[in-house]
Chains A and B, each alone.
Chain A
């Protein structure tokens, strides 16, 4: 079954068997194949080497390959599981799976924690939170005084930092996020449920055996 690998799949660096990816993620085999159509599009937008480079990622997210952004950087780094500066197909599927509507909430909570722990210290620190708030206000052209920003960060810490040690650890984050589902809004991409109709060209290329649907 897994031996039915098409030629175009084989040539891709970092290619992985869709059957394996489907078994490890929230995606079905066809959805993995449809994601491959998206992956091809993204990974050929600038460098055409079948790997998603940061510029290509920014181009897809912002229609602009040079736009620097704190969060795009963070997401890119988390998607780049092997930490080699590019996103391979397997990394792409595994990481996007976190955002699937059917993925358990605990996976989303963990991913969000790693995302917000900007300096990978195992804690979300006050400075990190402030940096993120400023980045968002800045990108959205919303101007708030420094006092206001401080007060937003303070209040947030009052709510989330239950041990009161000035930093949010994973347990505190789990409690806080479980109580506030709105915090995980950005951890679910409803589009992932429509991936087969959104990238229908996979239908002609599908290599799935007839009896394995």
Chain B
């Protein structure tokens, strides 16, 4: 297969998707030989439709989302006329294609996709990112049977307590409050509705709300006027009717879905990734950390320059991000200090994981995970001087 073009270190190949003002092409990173998907956006169209902020927001959203069920963004290029988003390539195509060929999915497969969808959506909502355009075209499948959420073109970074003010999305998957009010709505509840429509479609092979006439379609949606096929089991019906509730405030929340008995069968929660192996910078960071650790056993004497190099006083990363780093002194040996951190972490229900002899990670306890915030702290304990 011939390559038509090279962009940076990527050879562009065939077009694998086409949208209103963007094309997605398969590409190969010539340095690593890895496949990526590159979304090429026409700037003139973006300007014409006044979607500049949305494009920038899409990039920002994807950048902060590190989850096994969400498509990753690696890099961005731009020229005078085009924007190139270099993203993770997901080989199995869209869920919509799979539904087209197979009509409906068996319960085990549908449930697994739904569980992964809910995990991904939950993770986004925890970061105030609402997708707002969930539909099978935006759900990609890899060759290991995993689902990945893509296309955050319409997602919006929302501050808690503020309701969304714009109307968007694909009619059949859109929640009643989005259809009707055209005012403000809760992005989380609207996303959950769309997940419910997707689940219905996966299990039945057709959409719960369909009508050639858009007015009639909207009427059906706003009344949650749908009928279950006769093969739906009562646990399936129970969950779906809790999700497809036209009243956003009465609709099942993610917490409720996660405790539903049908949902919980064979449920293996997928969490946001730990920061190692995430982005370029984090990879570089961990490489750096490795070389650093090779260099010294934490019990060894630290020379003054090493102390300076470790210091946050000289850490320019403050220019780039808001992550907080703090340094504290302890009179105790490394092991005792780590033990104290452990006790403190347990006091506030954070899990404690030693990543090596001197560093630890503190995480929201996965078993008690239903708190909204996804908190990760890491601590490194270093010996400064020989105790006397």
- Please report A residues at the B interface, Cβ cutoff 8 Å: 4, 28, 30, 33, 38, 42, 60-63, 69-72, 75, 96, 99, 101, 116, 129, 132-133, 135-136, 139-144, 148, 151-153, 155-156, 159-160, 176-177, 180-198, 200-204, 206-210, 212-213
Number of chain B residues whose Cβ lies closer than 8 Å to a Cβ of chain A:
64
Complex contact A140–B306 (CB within 8 A): no
Complex contact A144–B385 (CB within 8 A): yes
* A–B complex contacts, Cβ < 8 Å, 24 sampled: A60-B319, A71-B314, A133-B308, A144-B385, A152-B307, A152-B384, A156-B305, A181-B291, A181-B295, A182-B295, A185-B288, A186-B310, A186-B311, A188-B284, A188-B288, A190-B280, A190-B282, A193-B279, A193-B281, A200-B55, A200-B60, A204-B46, A204-B47, A210-B79
| A190 and B288 in contact, given A133-B308, A204-B55 (Cβ under 8 angstroms) | yes
Q: How many Å lie between the Cα of A4 and that of B81 in the bound state?
A: 13
Q: How far is the CB of B28 from chain A (nearest CB, A)?
A: 16
Q: How far is the CB of B299 from chain A (nearest CB, A)?
A: 15
Q: How many Å lie between the Cα of A96 and that of B317 in the bound state?
A: 11
| A189 and B316 in contact, given A132-B308, A148-B385, A156-B305 (Cβ under 8 angstroms) | yes
Stretch of B159-167, B252-260, B320-328, B357-365 that contacts chain A? B320-328
Complex contact A207–B80 (CB within 8 A): yes
Known contacts A159-B303, A197-B60; 19 additional CB pairs below 8 A are A42-B319, A139-B311, A142-B328, A144-B384, A148-B388, A156-B303, A176-B305, A177-B305, A181-B295, A184-B309, A185-B309, A191-B281, A195-B320, A196-B75, A198-B320, A203-B59, A203-B78, A204-B56, A208-B79
For A133, the closest partner residue in chain B by CB is B304
Complex contact A210–B81 (CB within 8 A): yes
Interface membership of B127, Cβ < 8 A: no
Q: How many Å lie between the Cα of A198 and that of B313 in the bound state?
A: 23
Cβ of B376: which chain A residues have Cβ within 8 Å of it? none
- Residue of B75, B84, B307, B385 near A151 (CB, 8 A) is B385
Cβ of B292: which chain A residues have Cβ within 8 Å of it? 181-182, 185
For A188, the closest partner residue in chain B by CB is B288
Q: How many Å lie between the Cα of A71 and that of B92 in the bound state?
A: 51
Q: How many Å lie between the Cα of A95 and that of B329 in the bound state?
A: 32
Interface membership of B2, Cβ < 8 A: no
Interface membership of B7, Cβ < 8 A: yes
Q: How far is the CB of B51 from chain A (nearest CB, A)?
A: 10
Cβ of A129: which chain B residues have Cβ within 8 Å of it? 304-305
Complex contact B321–A141 (CB within 8 A): no
Q: How far is the CB of B294 from chain A (nearest CB, A)?
A: 8
For A69, the closest partner residue in chain B by CB is B313
Q: How many Å lie between the Cα of A201 and that of B55 in the bound state?
A: 9
Q: How many Å lie between the Cα of A133 and that of B310 in the bound state?
A: 11
Q: How many Å lie between the Cα of A175 and that of B317 in the bound state?
A: 27
Q: Is the interface of A mostly helix, strand, loop or mixed?
A: helix
Cβ of A207: which chain B residues have Cβ within 8 Å of it? 80
Complex contact B76–A191 (CB within 8 A): no
Q: How far is the CB of A22 from chain B (nearest CB, A)?
A: 12
Q: How many Å lie between the Cα of A200 and that of B321 in the bound state?
A: 14
Q: How far is the CB of A13 from chain B (nearest CB, A)?
A: 20
Cβ of B8: which chain A residues have Cβ within 8 Å of it? 28, 213
Q: How many Å lie between the Cα of A193 and that of B86 in the bound state?
A: 14
Q: How far is the CB of A69 from chain B (nearest CB, A)?
A: 6
For A185, the closest partner residue in chain B by CB is B309
Interface membership of B336, Cβ < 8 A: no
- CB interface residues, B 106-142, toward A, < 8 Å: none
- Residue of A143, A181, A191, A206 near B317 (CB, 8 A) is A191
Q: How far is the CB of B127 from chain A (nearest CB, A)?
A: 15
- Residue of B309, B318, B319, B385 near A186 (CB, 8 A) is B309
| A135 and B78 in contact, given A60-B318, A141-B329, A188-B284 (Cβ under 8 angstroms) | no
Interface membership of B43, Cβ < 8 A: yes
Q: How far is the CB of B105 from chain A (nearest CB, A)?
A: 34
Interface membership of B296, Cβ < 8 A: yes
Complex contact B313–A136 (CB within 8 A): yes
Cβ of A181: which chain B residues have Cβ within 8 Å of it? 291-292, 295
Cβ of A201: which chain B residues have Cβ within 8 Å of it? 56
Q: How many Å lie between the Cα of A34 and that of B77 in the bound state?
A: 10
Cβ of A33: which chain B residues have Cβ within 8 Å of it? 78
The interface bits of chain B over 364-388 (1 if a CB of A lies within 8 angstroms of the residue's CB, else 0) are: 0000000000000000000011001
Interface membership of B334, Cβ < 8 A: no
Complex contact A213–B77 (CB within 8 A): yes
Cβ of A183: which chain B residues have Cβ within 8 Å of it? 303, 305-306, 309
Q: How many Å lie between the Cα of A155 and that of B328 in the bound state?
A: 23
For A41, the closest partner residue in chain B by CB is B319
Complex contact A155–B316 (CB within 8 A): no
Interface membership of B36, Cβ < 8 A: no
Complex contact A142–B55 (CB within 8 A): no
Q: How many Å lie between the Cα of A96 and that of B313 in the bound state?
A: 17
Interface membership of B168, Cβ < 8 A: no
Complex contact B7–A213 (CB within 8 A): yes
Q: How many Å lie between the Cα of A210 and that of B79 in the bound state?
A: 5
Cβ of B309: which chain A residues have Cβ within 8 Å of it? 182-187
Cβ of B316: which chain A residues have Cβ within 8 Å of it? 61, 75, 96, 99, 186, 189
Q: How far is the CB of B338 from chain A (nearest CB, A)?
A: 17
- Residue of A144, A151, A155, A180 near B295 (CB, 8 A) is A180
